[in-house]
Amino acid sequence: MRSAYRSFSTMATLVSVGGFLTYVLLSSFAAGLMNQALIGRLTIGLALGLGQFVLMGVTIWLYVRHMRRRVDPVTHRLRAQLRENRTRAQAQVQAQARAQAGPRHAPSGRRPRTW
């Protein structure tokens, strides 16, 4: 699960942030190329700039889909497992469990569960 989360988000960050930084560098150092007109006044540079927005949109969409499909189910399972372990541990050594879990880990049920 760690690799599922991390490899995807690292790649996505590299693509979107790196893509943008390359675009900035290209604009500074390859101005001639960026100035070529595509349609009317729309130059390659401006078109690539708009492309950045599209790229971001696509990345976000992929990210949300990836998280929902691959990562969330695992998280839920793990979380349930953790909670189970904790309740069991609590029954055994109540004081120790409380110290470990911290003040915010009050036993579930105080608030209506959402899943």
Can you give the binding site for other proteins, defined by CB under 8 A?
A: 1-2, 5-6, 9-10, 12-13, 16-17, 20-21, 23-25, 27-29, 31, 34-35, 39-43, 45-46, 49, 52-53, 56-57, 59-60, 63-64, 67, 72, 75, 78-79, 82, 101-102, 104-105, 108, 110-111, 113-114
User: Which of 77, 63, 50 lies closest to 14 in space, CA to CA?
Assistant: 63
Eight-state DSSP code of residue 30: -
Q: How far apart are CA 53 and CA 24, in angstroms?
A: 14
Provide φ and ψ at 17, rounded to 5°: -70, -45
49 versus 89: smaller Cβ distance to other proteins: 49
Tell the smallest beta-carbon distance from residue 92 to other proteins (Å): 19
